[in-house]
Amino acid sequence: MNSLPSSKPAPAVRTSDVCRYYPMGGGIIRAVDGISLTIERGEFVALLGQSGSGKSTLLNLLAGLDRPSSGSVMVQGRDLAKMSSEELAAYRRNDVGMVFQAFHLIPSMTITENVELPMRFAEVDRAERGERVRESLEQVGLGKRLEHRPSELSGGEQQRVSLARALANRPSLLLADEPTGNLDSRTGEDILNLIRDLSLSLGMTVVMVTHERALAERFAQRLVFLADGKLLSQEAVA
């Protein structure tokens, strides 16, 4: 199919004219309205824009949690729009790590169990899991209180746990939806430092939604501005 000989490997993410519409009342809401965006491997990109501009919707399309109404989402040369829901689930558990503003840890599970959960879905061997849980928690700087429940930890610690969970299956793409939104600025900076270091050391592509331009400028390599579901502009950070 690909007749063009390319020396470069496929980009981490390439969307072409991707749309996501919601029917609403009589009309439709264009949450994402024709965005074409390319993100290279290992790049750290920040999605910026006003509330309701479609940042989360775009991120969910990249995560394979949602399907585009039209257009395509290519991740490492594979079209998510053409995948079955089983294949999308496999894509999410093997290639993607997600971090949320509200952490979304499972409250009844201990820290260790939360980090272990994605490995259960990925059918990682039992013997291997303990080691990988420790490794992931080490990467996010958590070594203590591993048998506690999430509610017993501070917000920053919880976000570290959710980051460790996202790293558990060694994804190539980390998607973060306002990871600092619930944290004070100091703690938020710590988390973003961590994400940037991991991106650099693991060669992981990062797409982060935020509405704090200052933070985005300090940590991301490129800023992408959205408005009304459209790509407004892009800026590389010096």
Partner 1 sequence: MKGYDLFELAVRNLRQSKLRNGLTTVGISVGVASLVAMLSLGVGLQQLATRRLAGSGMFDTVFVTSKQDFRGFDREDDQKTEHPENAPVLDEPARGAMTHLQYVTEVEPEIRVMGEVVSGGQTHFGFVTGLPMSARENEAFDNLQGKFFSGPSAEEVILLNDFAKEIDPKDPKGLIGQEVTLRYGERQALAPDSESAGRPQLSGGAVGGSNPTSGDDFGFSVVRKTQKLKVVGIIEEEPYGGMRTVSRGRIFLPVDLTEKLNMAQFTDMRSSLRGGGGKTYMTLTVRVKDPAKVAQVQDAINKMGFRTFSVLDATKSLRRFFTVLDLFLGIFGSLALAVATLAIINTLVMAVLERRREIGVMKAIGASDGDVKRLFFAEAGAMGFFGGLLGIALGFAIGKAINVGTGIYLHRHQLPAEAVWILPPWLIGAAIAFSIVVSLLAGLYPASRAAKLDPVQTLKYE
> What residue ranges bind partner 1 (CB under 8 A)?
60, 63, 65-66, 85-86, 89-90, 92-94, 98, 100-102, 104-106, 108-109, 117-118, 120-123, 165-166, 169
- Segment near Mg ion (CB under 5 A); pick from 24-32, 56-64, 136-144, 147-155: 56-64
From the list ligand ATP, partner 1, Mg ion, none, pick the one residue 10 interacts with, judged by a Cβ distance below 5 to 8 Å according to partner type. none
From the list Mg ion, ligand ATP, partner 1, none, pick the one residue 22 interacts with, judged by a Cβ distance below 5 to 8 Å according to partner type. ligand ATP
Residue 56 in contact with Mg ion, rule: CB under 5 A: yes
Backbone angles phi, psi at 185, to 5 degrees: -65, -35
CA angle 125, 151, 93 (to 5 degrees): 30
Please state the closest distance from residue 57 (CB atom) to ligand ATP, in A.
Answer: 3
Q: Which residue has the tokens 């264009």?
A: 30
Q: Give exposure, 200-214, as e/b (b: 16+ Cβ within 10 Å).
A: eeeebbbbbbbbbee
SS3 73: strand
Instruction: End-to-end CA distance of the chain: give it in Å, rounded.
Output: 37
Answer for the pair 56, 220: CB distance below 8 angstroms, yes or no.
no
Structure tokens at 78: 């594979």
Count of residues binding ligand ATP (CB under 6 A)?
Answer: 13
- The rounded distance, in Å, linking the Cα atoms of 59 and 66 is 9
Q: Binder to ligand ATP among 49, 68, 71, 179 (CB under 6 A)?
A: 49
Nearer to ligand ATP, 3 or 51 (CB): 51
Q: Binder to ligand ATP among 22, 107, 128, 237 (CB under 6 A)?
A: 22
Residues that bind ligand ATP (CB under 6 A): 22, 24, 29, 31, 49, 51-57, 211
